Amino acid sequence: MDSVTGSFRTSGGVTLGVEHFGDASAPLVLLAGGTTMLSWPDALCEALARGGRHVVRYDLRDSGASTTVDPEAPAYTLRDLAADAAELARGLDERPAHLAGVGVGGMVAQVAALDHPDAFSALTLVGTRPVAPGPVDADLPDHDGAVMGRLFSVPMPDWSDRAAVVASAAAKAEVLGNDPEAARTLAGRIFDRTPGTGPAVQMANQMGMVFSRLDCAPRWRERLAELAVPALVVHGRRDPFFPLGNGEALAREIPDAQLLVLDDASTAIPDSAVPEVASAMLAL
Q: Taking residues 208-224, report their average pLDDT.
A: 83
pLDDT digits (tens, 9 = 90+) for 160-206: 888 998 999 999 999 999 999 999 999 999 888 876 655 545 555 54
pLDDT digits (tens, 9 = 90+) for 111-146: 999 999 999 999 999 999 999 988 899 999 999 999
pLDDT digits (tens, 9 = 90+) for 97-115: 999 999 999 999 999 999 9
Helices assigned H by DSSP within 94-243: 104-115, 145-152, 162-176, 180-192, 199-207
pLDDT digits (tens, 9 = 90+) for 271-284: 999 999 999 999 99
Assigned domain for 161 exists: no
Residue 89's SS3 state is: helix
Structural domain range at position 215 = 3-142+194-283
Assigned domain for 158 exists: no
Assigned domain for 275 exists: yes
What pLDDT is stored for residue 219 in this prediction?
Answer: 95
pLDDT digits (tens, 9 = 90+) for 229-267: 999 999 999 999 999 999 999 999 999 999 999 999 999
What pLDDT is stored for residue 196 in this prediction?
Answer: 63
Task: List C-alpha distances in Å: 237 to 103, 185, 240, 241, 266.
Answer: 15, 24, 9, 11, 6
How many independent structural domains does the chain possess?
1
What is d(CA 23, CA 8) in angstroms, rounded to the nearest whole number? 18
Assigned domain for 167 exists: no
pLDDT digits (tens, 9 = 90+) for 11-64: 999 999 999 999 999 999 999 988 789 999 999 999 999 999 999 999 999 888
The CA dihedral of 113, 119, 120, 126, to the nearest 10 degrees, is -50
Task: List C-alpha distances in Å: 81 to 65, 105, 196, 208.
Answer: 15, 9, 22, 14
What is d(CA 242, CA 260) in angstroms, rounded to the nearest whole number? 15
What is d(CA 34, CA 106) in angstroms, rounded to the nearest whole number? 8
Assigned domain for 118 exists: yes
Task: List C-alpha distances in Å: 225 to 114, 228, 257.
Answer: 10, 8, 10
What is d(CA 152, CA 159) in angstroms, rounded to the nearest whole number? 16
What pLDDT is stored for residue 174 in this prediction?
Answer: 97
What pLDDT is stored for residue 160 in this prediction?
Answer: 84
Asked whether 48 and 282 are in contact (CB, 8 A), the reply is yes
Assigned domain for 178 exists: no
Assigned domain for 75 exists: yes
Query: Does the pLDDT value for residue 91 go beyond 80?
Result: yes
Residue 225's SS3 state is: helix
What pLDDT is stored for residue 200 in this prediction?
Answer: 46
Assigned domain for 188 exists: no
| Surface-to-core class of residue 5, CB atoms within 10 Å of its CB (0-12 exposed, 13-18 middle, 19+ buried) | exposed
| Surface-to-core class of residue 123, CB atoms within 10 Å of its CB (0-12 exposed, 13-18 middle, 19+ buried) | buried
In this structure, is the dihedral angle defined by the CA atoms of residues 174, 178, 180 and 186, taken in order, positive or negative?
Answer: negative
CATH for 259: 3.40.50.1820
Of 169, 161, 208, the closest CA to residue 62 belongs to 208
User: String of b and e for 252-269 (b: at least 16 CB within 10 Å)?
Assistant: ebbeebebbebeebbbbb
What is d(CA 234, CA 259) in angstroms, rounded to the nearest whole number? 6
